[in-house]
Amino acid sequence: MRAKLAIYVVFLLAACGLTACNRGRTVEAARENRPPSVTPAEQDFMMKAAQANIGEIDVARVALQKSDNKDVKDYANMIQSDHKNTLEDLTDLMIDKNVQPPKTVAAETQQDMNRMNSLTGPEFDREFANKMVSDHEKAVELFRDHQAIAQNADVKKYVNDVLPRLEMHLDKARQLQAKLFNWPNAPRPEPNLR
């Protein structure tokens, strides 16, 4: 009798385990089929912002490998660190809003990286600075434009949290660019009063 009871308990536990596993798959499948909880414009913004972050991280990684210039390396370290953090936050937000995060950079960024990989020395450093200015001008414009139209509170918060950092990156990129091109009226860093 005890042997039959033990076998019954084992089968019962196995059935419960399978049900729990299937429930997990069902929740996952339902989440995958759930529509995004943001507007199409917000989805587009998040995709562009995520691809921009991935691109900045990749370009900074290349700069850290190829450049011997301390200023370039310092800037690249800051970019890599900051954009990894903002990408993690954005990825969490996208998953929460049921928007599939991209895994690759935009084709234009990949072309730029391929071209930059063929450069060396000061030529690479100047091209890196030019790309950082150009990319951050586009990013600041994207975030400012979306700041005005964002409807979802979480997306608005993300935009408002990240925009000041992007503006700072742009200022520092312009300073780096001016220094590398030896422009006489290069903007000087403002004192950090915080």
Map 152-194 to HEC letters. Answer: CHHHHHHHHHHHHHHHHHHHHHHHHHHHHCCCCCCCCCCCCCC
How does 36-56 read in b/e, with b if 16+ C-beta sit within 10 Å?
eebeeebbebbbbbbbbbbbb
Q: Give pTM, 2 decimals.
A: 0.76
Token pair of 64 as six digits: 């850290």
CA dist 194 to 116, 127, 167, Å?
A: 36, 32, 16
185 in any annotated domain: no
Find the mean pLDDT for residues 121-142: 97
194 in any annotated domain: no
Please give the pLDDT value at position 26. Answer: 37
* 44 shares a domain with 30: no
Please give the pLDDT value at position 32. Answer: 62
* 93 shares a domain with 26: no
Domain of residue 157, CATH code: 1.20.1260.10
87 in any annotated domain: yes
Residue 1 banded pLDDT, cuts 50, 70, 90: low
Looking at the structure of the chain, the number of domains it has is 2
192 in any annotated domain: no
Residue 23 banded pLDDT, cuts 50, 70, 90: very low
Q: At what angle do helices 107-117 and 121-149 cross, to 10 degrees?
A: 160
* 84 shares a domain with 10: no
pLDDT over threshold 60, residue 17: no
* 166 shares a domain with 108: yes
Q: What are phi and psi of 147, to 5 degrees?
A: -60, -35
Please give the pLDDT value at position 108. Answer: 86
The domain containing residue 110 runs over which residues? 39-180
Per-residue pLDDT of 144-158, as tens digits, reads 999 999 999 999 999
CA dist 62 to 28, 36, 86, 116, 133, Å?
A: 37, 34, 19, 8, 16
Residue 25 banded pLDDT, cuts 50, 70, 90: very low
Please return the burial class of 183, using the count of CB atoms within 10 Å of its CB with bins 0-12, 13-18 and 19+. exposed
Find the mean pLDDT for residues 71-90: 98
